[in-house]
Amino acid sequence: MRKIKVGMLGIGNVGRGTYQALEMNHDLIAEKTGLDIEITKILNRNPDKDRGIDIPKEKYTADVEEILGNPDIDIVAELIGGIEPATTYMAKALSNGKHVVTANKAALAANGPMLAALSQEHNVLLRFEAAVAGGIPILNSLSTALLSNELSEVHGILNGTTNYILTQMSMYGKSYEEVLKDAQEKGFAEADPTADVEGLDAANKLSILISLIFGVSAPPDKIPTRGITSVSNVDIEFAEEAGYKIKLLGSAEHIGDKVYGNVEPVLLHASHPLASVNNEFNAVFVEGNAADELMFYGRGAGPLPTGSAVLGDIIDIARKIEKESAYDNLSRLRYDSGSEFAGEGSSKYYVRMAVPEKSGILGKITTIFGEHDISIEVIKQEADEAIGEEQLVSLIVILFDTEKSRLMKALDAILKTDAVHSIENIMRVETR
Amino acid sequence: MRKIKVGMLGIGNVGRGTYQALEMNHDLIAEKTGLDIEITKILNRNPDKDRGIDIPKEKYTADVEEILGNPDIDIVAELIGGIEPATTYMAKALSNGKHVVTANKAALAANGPMLAALSQEHNVLLRFEAAVAGGIPILNSLSTALLSNELSEVHGILNGTTNYILTQMSMYGKSYEEVLKDAQEKGFAEADPTADVEGLDAANKLSILISLIFGVSAPPDKIPTRGITSVSNVDIEFAEEAGYKIKLLGSAEHIGDKVYGNVEPVLLHASHPLASVNNEFNAVFVEGNAADELMFYGRGAGPLPTGSAVLGDIIDIARKIEKESAYDNLSRLRYDSGSEFAGEGSSKYYVRMAVPEKSGILGKITTIFGEHDISIEVIKQEADEAIGEEQLVSLIVILFDTEKSRLMKALDAILKTDAVHSIENIMRVETR
């Protein structure tokens, strides 16, 4: 049986999950593929730490060269995370003619094109299924759909922590702070939750999806990104009454020769398949010009699901090594640094305002929206609840398609009257 | 640019969709893959028929040998449907060294192992993405998940017509007959809906999924199959009150050394991702020992979505031809004729009975279930509604896990008392 040797950089959560997934399924994989895959070396300085799995001590090394410069090792699995030293290690592995598998979205978002170019130059493979949506085989799935379809849009629930928070807020009426605290106590959210709740993690993943699907370079810091901290229970309740669910969505759309995209909380109609993706689950929804709607659902995080995706990439490469088939990086990371990544297009919008509790307010607001050629789908005033000392109440509107700039002009005009005290929240309503 | 020539057998709905998908995306495919794919010949006796697309007449031929025996043709796309002559044509194509793509679930369910063996013997590829769930790239998706995971179960909404009917019954309270008639008038259900509503189409697709996922031969006529004709609005309402949706599910599970499977209407908890798959959409849900839950969602029928899957297979083969990589039928159709395909395991159950409107009924029924060691989750009597002249009312129970045989014994015992007039419906409750 052909032996394939893997060197693993790092043995944190994902490394552990990968090691464990291979341990569980080694024999099954051997039976199905005729390949004996073994993780022979692991870069880590602490072989004595209890990781809950049984790893022979001789596999550990503190010297990265024992992996990167080891002629026996076919595939390097980079599972350290962070931009450096991960990028340097991957670059070295590729230059040494080793195939690389990574789950590192930050390094890919920062240095993906350089690494992709290196892999092509040295005729080796660079795979990163685990970097986009954990255990969901989305890159593999897209490789078929991508080729037989022109994909016009992609929408993803790409962060499990925020989806968990929004789901719990919606299901049990708990406040954002309450659910976050709860999630932190369960070890489910980080002590510093910024990367999750501000949408930065989702932006990293969307960046990779955009470059794969549209062949356009979209550095995460160029993607307009907004997290879920502005979403209140009032918004969730209002939205649900009107038939919508609020989700943190990474979205991109190809219109004409531009790609529009962002990460932000949006209102999704309850009948949208993404609206039923709950708790820590992730999903990616695409629309093809032939296949129409497709959605891929699964666990976006967790040691074993993510390890499953890393292992899938390893097997994929191992089979190509065995068959000695030509390596093909096609549609895996197509960066085009000349392309421009633009802001957002037109959309339906949800706006929540704080308004004084007096008559004539609705008339003024609807008149100004009308003057700006913006049509109203739903308008609703919450009579029961007063905000602050000024006797303010919440008023929400859901507006038919409009450009953001036009909306902002109308809201400016509205703010100049005495009809509205303040704009409390603006969210896109995603339609299909 | 390398030219790949495709001969198409049949130009019905799927053929039209495939031709159209290629027409729409030919240039994009050429740009992405460097391949110039052309459908050069089409088997059809009626080149003059208006198909709503512009096909040059010289592509048509009435002689199948002009395709099967044509040395210029690389790939044969069999889109005639039905078991014969499709099987004979595919066998001939494979024997002549041509790769074959098909959307024909009936021919595969009947003759899949023979065709798979032929493809291996002649070192050509046999692909059938479109046969399982229309436009959903499920076989491609499973090829990663399948290899890095042991999959323990699969559940699919595999038939769009029945899912449409159940969704409409649930959403608008319309009767089965009403929705079916409506669907037929819209050309959405066949004049003879048997294959759809009796679950036969779903059983064909489940048969292919079982052989792919579990490597076990499961001829459709050995799969216990029950359609949706027994599902009434009363069942749907009761189920929804208790928090469930009724869906026609094709399910298979690997327990010990046996595979259990069937096609039948089941109750799914509303939070199950399959419960939100509505109208004509399909989805396949699997559980892996590493990836955990995965679901793939999309259009299970329609010319363009199905054509998209056929085209995906064509591109996949074309790329392998171009790269001259070794052909690999692995995990595409693994039949093991020695394996046994068994009935069903234990499950939660939903039972609706017609009972006389008098006191003491509940006590008798619960006592008998107790004597058979079956625990009750929900029991509910519909007081308002009388069935027939005998003053009968509906009573439903949802029972915790039990084997079907034990349930049937308990129901037998219950029927022997005067507590129950008749058993009106029995459905499994699918849990996860």
Can you tell me the mean pLDDT for B184-212?
Answer: 89
Same domain, B150 and B292: yes
Contact B325 A325 (CB under 8 A): yes
Read off the tokens for A147: 């080729």
Phi and psi, residue B117, nearest 5°:
-65, -40
Identify the closest residue of chain B to A304 by CA–CA distance. Answer: B290
Residue A339 lies in a domain: no
Q: Provide mean pLDDT across the span B55-77.
A: 96
Helical (H) or strand (E) element with B307: helix B303-323
Same domain assignment for residues A309 and A361: no
**C-alpha closest to that of A111 among A130, A131, A97, A96:** A131
Nearest CA distance, A139 vs chain B (angstrom): 9
Q: Are the Cβ atoms of B296 and A17 closer than 8 angstroms?
A: no
Q: Do B295 and A295 touch (CB under 8 A)?
A: yes
Residue B333 domain-assigned (yes or no): no
The CA distance from A71 to the nearest CA of chain B, in Å, is 25
pLDDT tens figures, B222-240 = 899 999 999 999 999 999 9
pLDDT on residue A221: 86
Q: Over the range A56-84, which residues count as b (16 or more CB within 10 Å of their CB) and which as e?
A: eeebbbeebeebbebeebbbbbbbbbeee
For residue B129, the 8-state DSSP code is T
Distance CA A295, CA A140 (A): 13
In this complex, the residue of A147, A308, A315 whose CB is nearest that of residue B29 is A147
pLDDT of residue B386: 59
* Domain assignment of residue A332, yes or no: no
Which residue in the set A147, A273, A298 is minimally distant from B312, CB to CB?
Answer: A147
Which residue in A63, A73, A80 sits closest to A96, CA to CA?
A73
Q: List CB contacts (< 8 A) between B129 and chain A.
A: 144
β-strands B281-288, B292-299: how paired?
antiparallel
Same domain, B172 and B280: yes
CATH code: domain of residue B278: 3.30.360.10
Interchain pair B308, A319: CB under 8 A: no
B213 sits in which H/E element: helix B200-214
Instruction: For residue B381, list its beta bridge partners.
Output: B395
CB-CB: which of A21, A290, A319 is closest to B21? Answer: A290
Residue of A nearest to B30 (CA): A147
Q: Bridge partners of B387?
A: B392
Which candidate from B275, B299, B315 shows the least CB-CB separation from A292?
Answer: B299
Same domain for A43 and A100, yes or no, is yes
Out of A150, A294, A305, closest to residue B298 by CB: A294
Question: Does residue B350 sit within a domain?
Answer: yes
For residue A67, the number of C-alpha atoms closer than 13 Å in the C-beta half-sphere is 29
**Is the four-CA dihedral A263, A268, A272, A273 of positive or negative sign?**
positive
CA B205 to chain A, closest CA, distance in angstroms equals 19
Closest by alpha carbon to B284, among B365, B195, B208? B208
Q: Return phi, psi of residue B33, to 5°.
A: -115, -10
Please report whether residue B337 resides in a domain.
no
Would you call B304 and A291 a contact, using CB atoms and an 8 Å cutoff? yes
Residues of A annotated as catalytic are 205
- Asked whether residue B262 falls in the same domain as residue B154, the answer is yes
Residue of A nearest to B272 (CA): A276
Note down the domain range covering A157: 138-299
Residues B375 and B424 in one domain: yes
CA distance A150 to chain B (A): 7
Q: CA A35, CA A77: separation in Å to the nearest integer?
A: 17
CB B355 within 8 Å of CB B393: yes
**In chain B, what residues touch A278 (CB-CB under 8 Å)?**
271
Residues of B identified as active-site: 205
Does residue A316 share a domain with residue A259? Answer: no
Q: Among all residues of chain B, which has the CA nearest to that of A16?
A: B290
Q: Is residue B392 part of a domain?
A: yes
| Predicted pLDDT at B112 | 87
Q: Confidence band (pLDDT; 50, 70, 90) for B430?
A: confident
Residue of A nearest to B328 (CA): A323
B318 Cβ partners below 8 Å, 6+ apart?
B4, B33, B35, B37, B74, B75
Distance CA B113, CA B93 (A): 16
Main-chain phi, psi angles of A143, to 5 degrees: -65, -30
Q: What gap in Å lies between CA B155 and CA B431, rounded to an integer?
A: 11
Looking at the fold, whether B168 and B224 belong to one and the same domain comes out as yes
Identify the DSSP state of B280.
T
User: Do A25 and B290 lie within an 8 Å CB cutoff?
Assistant: yes
Would you call B278 and A271 a contact, using CB atoms and an 8 Å cutoff?
yes
User: Does A299 sit within 8 Å of B148, measured CB to CB?
Assistant: no
Please give chain A's pLDDT, 432 residues, in tens: 889 999 999 999 899 999 999 999 999 899 888 899 999 999 998 888 888 888 999 999 999 999 999 999 999 999 998 899 999 999 999 999 999 999 998 899 888 889 989 999 999 999 999 998 888 988 877 776 668 899 989 999 999 999 999 999 999 999 999 999 988 887 778 889 999 999 999 999 999 899 888 888 788 888 999 999 999 999 999 999 889 999 999 999 888 778 888 999 999 998 899 999 999 999 999 999 999 999 999 998 889 999 999 999 999 899 888 765 544 543 344 444 444 455 556 889 999 999 988 888 889 999 999 999 999 998 988 765 656 666 888 899 999 999 989 999 999 999 999 889 899 899 988 876
**Contacting residues of B for A25, CB less than 8 Å apart:** 148-150, 289-290
Number of CB atoms found within 10 A of residue B256's CB: 7
CA B33 – CA B28 distance, rounded (Å): 9
* Residue B263, pLDDT score: 94
Burial B108-144 (b: 16+ CB within 10 A, else e): bbbbbbebbebbeebebbbbbbbbbbbbbbbbbbbbb
CA–CA dist A101, A105 (Å, integer): 12
Q: Cβ separation of A290 and B302 shorter than 8 Å?
A: no
Mapping DSSP to helix (H, G, I), strand (E, B) and coil, where does residue B345 land?
A: coil
What pLDDT is attached to residue A372? 95
- From A366's Cα to the closest Cα of chain B, the distance in A is 33
Helix (H, G, I), strand (E, B) or coil at A174: coil
The answer to whether position A153 is within a domain reads yes
| Angle separating helix axes B200-214 and B138-148, nearest 10 degrees | 30
Inter-chain touch B21–A324, beta carbons under 8 Å: no
- A400 falls within a domain: yes
Best of B39, B127, B141, B148 to mutate (most A CBs within 10 Å, chain A): B148
Distance from CA of B297 to the nearest CA of A (A): 5
> B33 and A330: CB-CB below 8 Å?
yes
For residues A120 and A163, state if they share a domain.
Answer: no
Contact B141 A143 (CB under 8 A): no
Which member of B140, B273, B289 has the closest CB to residue A144? B140
Q: How many Å apart are CA B310 and CA B304, to the nearest integer? A: 10
Residues of chain A neighbouring B291 (CB-CB closer than 8 A): 135-137, 298-299, 304-305, 308-309
What is the distance between the alpha carbons of residues B281 and B297, in angstroms, rounded to a whole number?
A: 7
Residues A189 and A233 in one domain: yes
In terms of phi and psi (left: phi > 0; alpha: psi -120 to 50; beta: otherwise), the region of A244 is beta
Q: Do A153 and A226 fall within a single domain?
A: yes
Q: Cβ contacts (< 8 Å) between B305 and chain A: which residues?
A: 290-292
How far apart, in whole angstroms, are the C-alpha atoms of residue B132 and residue B264? 17
CB contact under 8 A, A312 and B145: yes
Alpha-carbon distance of A213 to A154, in angstroms, equals 8
Check whether residue B204 and residue B315 sit in a common domain: no
* Chain A partners within 8 Å of B157 (Cβ): none
SS3 A192: coil
Chain B CA closest to residue A310: B148
Q: How far is A428 from chain B (nearest CA, A)?
A: 23
Which of the 8 DSSP states describes residue A48?
T
- List pLDDT tens digits, range B133-190: 888 988 877 776 668 899 989 999 999 999 999 999 999 999 999 999 988 887 778 8
pLDDT tens for each residue of B250-309 = 999 888 778 888 999 999 998 899 999 999 999 999 999 999 999 999 998 889 999 999
CB contact under 8 A, B294 and A289: no
Chain B residue whose CA is closest to A29: B147
What's the pLDDT tens digit per position in B90-135? 999 999 999 999 999 889 988 888 998 999 999 999 999 999 888 8
Complex prediction ipTM: 0.84
Chain B residue with minimal CA distance to A167?
B271
Cβ contacts from A onto B, under 8 A: 197
- Kindly determine whether residue B297 and residue A295, on different chains, have CB atoms separated by under 8 Å: yes
CATH of the domain at B311: 3.40.50.720
To probe the interface with B, which of A149, A163, A322 has the most B CB atoms within 10 Å? A149
State how far the Cα of A175 lies from the Cα of A411, in Å rounded to an integer: 28
pTM to 2 decimal places: 0.86
Q: List the CATH number of the domain containing B359.
A: 3.30.70.260
Contacts of B140 in chain A (CB under 8 A): 140-141, 143-144
User: Helix (H, G, I), strand (E, B), or coil: what is residue B272?
Assistant: coil
Distance from CA of A355 to the nearest CA of B (A): 37
Our CA-based measurement puts residue A12 at a distance from the nearest CA of chain B, in whole angstroms, of: 16
B358 vs chain A: nearest CA distance in angstroms? 39
Cβ pair A324:B326 closer than 8 A: yes
Q: Is the pLDDT of residue B330 over 60?
A: no
User: Which chain A residue's Cα is nearest to B285?
Assistant: A297
A288, B308 contact by CB (below 8 A): yes
Number of structural domains (chain B) is 3
pLDDT for residue B342 is more than 60 = no
Average pLDDT of chain B is 88
Residue in chain A lying closest to B26 (CA)? A148
Neighboring chain B residues of A32 at a CB cutoff of 8 Å: 146-147, 330-331
Contact across the interface for B141 and A296, Cβ inside 8 Å: yes
